[in-house]
Amino acid sequence: MTQTITVIRGDGIGPEIMDATLHVLDTMNLGLSYEFADAGLVALEKHGELLPAATMDSIRKNRIALKSPLTTPVGEGFSSINVELRKRFDLYANVRPAKSFPNTKSRFPSGVDLITVRENTEGAYIGEGQSLSEDGETAMLTQKITRRGSDRIVRYAFDLARRTGRKKVTVVHKANILKSTSGLFLKTAREVAQQYPDIQCNEMIVDNTCMQLVMRPEQFDIIVTTNLFGDIISDLCAGLVGGLGLAPGANIGTDAAIFEAVHGSAPDIAGKGIANPCALLLGAAQMLDHLGQSEKATALREAIIATLEAKDSLTPDLGGEGNTMSFAKAIAGRIAA
């Protein structure tokens, strides 16, 4: 059976890493067909809007999208397209794995294997209640945490632990200070945890978590947390394992899921053909897991690791002299072999 996915080639390095990723996927016999849709700057130029209705319709219909980074124009009254997509499709779970890879510039070439599960629709990022006093001296922001939102994200983390054979979920919070919001999140997390006696659960305050992640990252398995903390912690975790070129993310809701790289459109290297395609490829591996093609996902990850181990055609961010497409071809070659 053929599965159609929406493919968004995006801005900056987006088209380069997407072409490389599709080159690899095309060698894998996945039964995928691609429906290309525009978003971001390229959509603004072609269709006059950042997020055209046709793109929304395509994602709604196919329910799965593979997306390259998008540039949100700064200071022109545009709200973030990524935040908008997450909101419109209620993509409540942002799942960001961080695993040690060989031959990166990481301080932890082994031992890190954790997943940050970030609540993606609430907290400090709801974009409501932002105000600045008339004299410009006082700014306010509203945070929103709901029991429903907390329950479903914590449940997602525990179900993910069960599904993937992981043993521990760490609930990261700041309930000692943010008593109402983080307090409700923690209280709800404790209730959910009781329904998963087979999975160990511990609690950690967010500032201590940052220190612990840098000192002893191997103690973490799955981290579940609210939107703002998850945004920051997951970038920290990407830094633990070799940087943005290796960090994928999945945005998962009940009716749709969007798979991507954590990094942005990297205007500083766009058009040079040297962007690392691994983050998007690893996002594609998350997509294959989601589609029930876990063996293929594993094969893809193993080929990436083998290519890193062999230092075959690595891109300059990893200290190599390869380029986006030669790196992708080296990975595809290992899958075929």
Which residues are at the interface with ligand NAI (CB under 6 A)?
Answer: 13, 17, 69-72, 82, 244-245, 260, 263-269, 275-276, 279, 317
Instruction: Tell how strand 64-67 and strand 32-37 pair up.
Output: unpaired
Measured at CB, which residue is nearest to Mg ion? 231
Instruction: Write down the catalytic residue from 90, 159, 207, 255.
Output: 207
> C-beta of 81: minimal distance to ligand NAI in Å?
7
Determine whether 176 is exposed, middle or buried from the number of CB atoms within 10 Å of its CB (0-12, 13-18, 19+). exposed
From the list Mg ion, ligand NAI, none, pick the one residue 265 interacts with, judged by a Cβ distance below 5 to 8 Å according to partner type: ligand NAI
Least distance CB 91 / ligand NAI (angstroms) = 12
Please say which residue, 263 or 334, places its beta carbon nearer to ligand NAI: 263
Q: Which is nearer to ligand NAI, 75 or 165 (CB)?
A: 75
CA distance linking residue 76 with residue 289, whole number of Å? 38
- We find the least distance from the C-beta atom of residue 72 to ligand NAI, in angstroms, to be 5
Q: Would you give the end-to-end CA distance of the chain in angstroms?
A: 25
User: 79-107 burial string, b = 16+ CB within 10 Å, else e?
Assistant: eebbbbbbbebebbbbbbbbbbbebbebe
How far, in Å, CA of 337 to CA of 335, rounded? 5
Nearest residue to ligand NAI by CB is 264
Taking the complex as a whole, the smallest distance from the CB of residue 286 to ligand NAI amounts, in Å, to 14
Q: For ligand NAI, which is the closer residue by CB, 121 or 182?
A: 121
Q: Distance between CA atoms of 267 and 278, rounded to whole angstroms?
A: 18
Could you say which of 231, 289, 296, 317 is catalytic? Answer: 231
Entry field: residues in the chain: 337
Catalytic (active site) residue 207: yes
For this structure, is 125 an active site residue? yes
Residue 248's nearest CA partner among 93, 94, 109, 131 is: 94
Find the angle CA(271)-CA(275)-CA(278) to the nearest 5 degrees: 145
The secondary structure of residue 295, as a DSSP letter, is: H
Range in contact with Mg ion (rule: CB under 5 A) among 87-95, 119-127, 137-145, 227-235: 227-235
Report the residue from 38, 231, 289, 317 that binds Mg ion according to the rule CB under 5 A.
Answer: 231
Residues identified as active-site: 125, 174, 207, 231
Binding site for Mg ion (CB under 5 A): 231
